[in-house]
Amino acid sequence: MSNWQDDAASHLVLNAGPRLAMLTRGEGSYVWDADGNRLLDFLAGIAVTSLGHAHPVFVEAVSRQAATLAHVSNYFATPPQLALAARLKRLAGAGIDGRVFFSNSGAEANEAAFKLARLHGGAEKPRIIALENGFHGRTMGSLAMTAKASMRAPFEPMPGGVEHIPATIEALEAAIDDRVAAVIVEPIQGEAGVVELPEGYLAAARSLTLKHGALLIVDEIQTGAGRTGAWFGFSHEGITPDAITLAKGIGGGFPIGALVTYGAASDLFTPGSHGSTFGGNPLATAVADAVLAEIENAGLVENAARRGEELRGIIEGIDSPLIDGVRGRGLLIGVGLAAPVAGAVVAAAQERGLIVNAANPETVRIAPALTIGDAELAEFRELFAAALADVSASLTTSGKAPA
């Protein structure tokens, strides 16, 4: 039998680096590897598997729709497509004038948002403002709005007009003018290490964009679908944006993305101005509609808020010199570390049977399924504390322990 690491190295492009394990099945908040080891999944595919693995609602929706109608072109409408669009508009408060464009991923949703900004701005408003440390995807338009230089450099020149500013109200006030087409922000910068925007930032951004005739686009790809303890990250500040982008958790593991527009922004796309062969296909939209219905009916947004507070308390209660603060909201949490050893903590956690993620060298990202309860939290406490202790002991032995 061939070695799976060799097969991965031989068959897959090298964009993701070495894979951490060969996972073969999942159930709830657990996955199993090819050797039969069970791991507690507190990453959920990076905030994707909202209902956990193999949830009966997900399985039933995939099976039912696959046996009914999986794909038609966008020359036609289907019942699941319209049902999901209506649900997203209702949940996002987009109102009767709202519209939805469906894509297959978050990057594609942000690519659509980039084009929406260009359509709004035209020649008179060529500027798009994004934030330093922001991440919006790796397609060319979404990458132009992404601030990470190492991601952008190999593919330059980027599409023009995008400027990155510090995530402060003062910087936005100084940068915005009547030549700005759009401002795009994440309510919590997940890839930057689960960093929240300053208090009042979204409200200030809403006020300033309205004053200068710019769109406010909120990237909810990682924060949407109840992840932060509200349906969307922008909901915590009570604003109404011009557009939001969605993906990850709305499909519960099935690939789908969406751009939801509000008010006048809903009239910017015209026939032929954008499209997607697979976007809004009946299989993806049926599954996403079922996932969101379960999140709503089972009270999982409220569960994310309550369990998120409990999870923060668990982490803050672990007696480890490595913990240097806890950030985030709901079930999107970043654990700040006192040393750049997030990779080592993640490796130690996996060795113990826990999946978490290193968002950067100083931050461990935690984003479990919205369904977690007492048993999963208790097991997390044990495994994460043990992983931190393993790394602390290693640092002490090597003389590199934090002061």
Q: Which residue ranges are tagged as binding site for N(2)-acetyl-L-ornithine?
A: 138, 276
Euclidean distance between CA atoms 354 and 384, whole angstroms: 7
- Of 119, 111, 112, 85, which Cα lies nearest the Cα of 100? 85
Cite the active site residues: 135, 219, 248
Burial class of residue 217 (count of CB atoms within 10 Å of its CB; 0-12, 13-18, 19+)? buried
Q: What is the CA radius of gyration of the chain?
A: 21
Can you point out the beta strands (E) in 157-306? 162-165, 180-185, 188-189, 195-196, 215-219, 243-246, 257-261
- Of 385, 370, 382, 297, which Cα lies nearest the Cα of 28? 370
- Of 74, 127, 51, which Cα lies nearest the Cα of 292? 51
What single letter denotes the amino acid at residue 376? E
Return the H-helix or E-strand segment holding 144.
helix 140-145
Number of Cα atoms under 13 Å in the Cβ half of residue 141:
15
Residues 6+ apart with CB under 8 A from 293: 57, 87
SS3 279: coil
Euclidean distance between CA atoms 311 and 185, whole angstroms: 26
Question: Which residues are annotated binding-site positions for pyridoxal 5'-phosphate?
Answer: 106-107, 135, 219-222, 277
Residues 6+ apart with CB under 8 A from 200: 169, 237
Euclidean distance between CA atoms 308 and 229, whole angstroms: 8
Question: Which residues are annotated binding-site positions?
Answer: 106-107, 135, 138, 219-222, 276-277
Rounded alpha-carbon distances, angstroms, from residue 327 to 11, 155, 199: 38, 32, 13
**φ, ψ of residue 217 in degrees (nearest 5):** -110, 125
